[in-house]
Chain A
Amino acid sequence: ETGVTQSPTHLIKTRGQQVTLRCSSQSGHNTVSWYQQALGQGPQFIFQYYREEENGRGNFPPRFSGLQFPNYSSELNVNALELDDSALYLCASAVAGGQGEKQYFGPGTRLTVT
């Protein structure tokens, strides 16, 4: 186990609704990244937060937004949900600095949009 926790485990939403997913970093970690994993595919980078600011973003629309709190926990918010947003959402934490980052993943939140 990595020490990264996510909530909720599963979630069912209706198209057009909004959702908030939560992540608690591993102790000592100060960056949080969010990834979307569609069924049968590898995780895709959404964005990363460091020092409570977005620090890099993947190819996701603005309706995907996030927050990082002073205790390094994080939220992922998705507005105007679409059917294609159904996926496993993964949070990963790391210690910033150095060459590259060794990211530790949580168990994920399975989002189903109907």
Chain B
Amino acid sequence: GENVGLHLPTLSVQEGDNSIINCAYSNSASDYFIWYKQESGKGPQFIIDIRSNMDKRQGQRVTVLLNKTVKHLSLQIAATQPGDSAVYFCAENEGDSSYKLIFGSGTRLLVRP
């Protein structure tokens, strides 16, 4: 299968623990942010998104936090499961409601049983 993320930063967590994946973005004009999960051999899968007029958004077991002051985005996964093991990418748009997504370099999440 596809070997995504050969030399990515890796976060290793115990099954059942909470995971926090961080992302710094560079464009202060970005107004839309999105997290994707990519498993080996698959395309990126949408997890959760947030607009710049919000600082927190919750989904099922996931929470995204946005700190525009320091241009920082984080993804929190509650009660991490083995199926959460994947590479996680944050992405931002170019601002002005641009449809172009700019992706970060990704973080590999490994869940220990």
Contact = CB atoms under 8 A, between A and B. Distances in A.
A10 to B, nearest CB: 10
Contacts of A105: 36, 43-46
B97 A106 contact: no
Interface stretch (A14-22, A67-75, A78-86, A93-101): A93-101
Contact of A101 (B6, B36, B93, B106): B93
A7 interface: no
Contacts, number: 87
A28 interface: no
A103 interface: yes
23 contacts: A4-B43, A33-B100, A39-B3, A39-B4, A40-B8, A41-B105, A42-B89, A42-B103, A42-B106, A43-B44, A48-B100, A56-B100, A58-B100, A90-B44, A96-B99, A98-B97, A100-B49, A101-B99, A102-B46, A103-B99, A103-B101, A105-B43, A105-B44
